[in-house]
């Protein structure tokens, strides 16, 4: 019994076999009152509350406190310049570790911040609001970071009251307009990767619209990215490249602004308006070696630096990452870039 259309309509999620296997036991439990999976499907088609439960059963809530912590540190550093309390939103926060990590990064940077954490899955939101975690949630985290945010609670840890007081939580579906606006940072990491291209586009539009001018959008390296446009630019903070909503329209270096995230139709993307320099591109490819976008950016940076052989090596690394991927908006976007880089490497005398 496939729930594919229901999943996409309700939560923007892309169905696949492993996801359905993962949801199997949860779906069976939901099906009990309806007699069968077919009965559950019928009920979900008729009732939004049942559809929401089915969608929540398909979510992947894997998260941990120190997940790509350097990106949160970079965002917190950028917030220092605000000169007023910062508003941050973890959109798709799962069980909340990311919310507390963002707040911890802000506290370490001396930034007074308030955080909103939202997720589609109400069970995950309840855990987030409880603020109690096992040691597993803290894996790889440096002890001083843990100590700023958590206090021991038997074999577990509990978020300290001064940190907990800065966080609010709620259930929110990213297909709907943002619950609030004017955020200085929105982190939506490892969420859009599960979305269909059309749903990722819709969610991105909501997220960008909820950013304050100059606000930062944090995505994970493997997430689909909205193209850099007049409203969204790449900036380098510390060693990390972040996406920022332009404080005011940028001078038009991009001739014809593309639509924000083209739907499912593959398109040839424009050249990004702010290419990272070689040092930035190297740093990003070092931090995210499996991110094809980072490898393509590095290939272009090598080309600009007159190093076609190195550009060819980065291109091969990007293509190796793209090889096993199914078709999606993001893959089409990356393949189009890869073809452009390949032509440029050949023109420069490299072995593409
Ligand atoms: C893998 S977790 C990511 C958690 C955290 N952001 C991180 O990077 O560690 C993905 C989360 O996205 C949530 N999610 C999936 N679809 C959603 C939707 N349509 N609206 C809001 N949250 C959604 C899931 O419930 C899940 O908790």
Q: Which of 14, 120, 191, 221 to mutate to test the pocket of ligand 1 (most atoms within 8 A of CB)?
A: 191
**Beta carbons within 10 angstroms of residue 236's beta carbon:** 16
Domains and CATH numbers, the chain: 4-57 (no CATH), 69-240 (3.40.50.150), 267-347 (no CATH)
How much is the pTM?
0.74
- pLDDT tens, position by position, 27-61: 999 999 999 999 999 999 999 999 999 999 999 99
- What is the atom index within ligand 1 of the atom nearest the CA of 63? 9
Structure tokens at 279: 């040092």
Q: Inform me whether the pLDDT recorded for 333 exceeds 80.
A: no
Say if ligand 1 is within 6 A of residue 223 CB: no
- pLDDT tens, position by position, 279-309: 777 876 776 677 787 788 889 889 989 999 9
Can you give the pLDDT at residue 173?
98
Rounded average pLDDT over 88-117: 98
């Amino acid at each position: 019994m496939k729930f594919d259309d229901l999943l996409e309509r309700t939560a923007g999620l892309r169905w696949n076999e492993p996801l359905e296997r993962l949801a199997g036991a949860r779906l069976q439990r939901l099906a009990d009152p309806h007699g069968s999976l077919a009965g559950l499907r019928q009920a979900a088609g008729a009732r939004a509350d049942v559809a929401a439960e089915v969608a929540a059963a398909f979510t992947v809530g894997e998260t941990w406190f120190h997940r790509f912590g350097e990106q949160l540190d970079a965002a917190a550093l950028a917030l220092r310049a605000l000169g007023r309390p910062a508003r941050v939103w973890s959109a798709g926060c799962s069980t909340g570790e990311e919310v507390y990590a963002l707040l911890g990064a802000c506290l370490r940077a001396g930034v007074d911040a308030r955080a909103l954490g939202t997720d589609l899955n109400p069970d995950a939101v309840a855990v987030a609001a409880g603020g109690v975690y096992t040691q597993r949630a803290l894996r790889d985290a440096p002890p001083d970071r843990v100590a700023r945010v958590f206090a021991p609670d038997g074999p577990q840890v509990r978020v300290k009251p001064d940190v907990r007081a800065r966080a609010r939580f709620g259930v929110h579906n990213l297909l709907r307009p943002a619950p609030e606006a004017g955020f200085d940072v929105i982190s939506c990491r490892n969420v859009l990767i599960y979305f269909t291209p059309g749903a990722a586009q819709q969610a991105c539009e909501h997220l960008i619209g909820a950013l304050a001018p100059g606000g930062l959008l944090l995505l994970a390296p493997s997430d689909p990215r909205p193209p850099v446009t007049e409203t969204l630019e790449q900036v380098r903070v510390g060693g990390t490249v972040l996406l920022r909503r332009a404080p005011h329209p940028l001078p038009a270096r991009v001739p014809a602004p593309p639509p924000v995230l083209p739907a499912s139709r593959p398109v040839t993307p424009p050249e990004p308006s702010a290419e990272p320099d070689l040092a930035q591109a190297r740093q990003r490819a070092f931090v995210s070696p499996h991110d094809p976008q980072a490898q393509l950016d590095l290939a272009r940076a090598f080309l600009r630096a007159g190093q076609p052989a190195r550009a060819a090596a980065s291109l091969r690394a990007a293509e190796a990452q793209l090889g096993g991927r199914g078709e999606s908006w993001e893959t089409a976007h990356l393949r189009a870039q890869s073809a452009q880089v390949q032509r440029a490497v050949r023109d420069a005398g490299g072995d593409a």
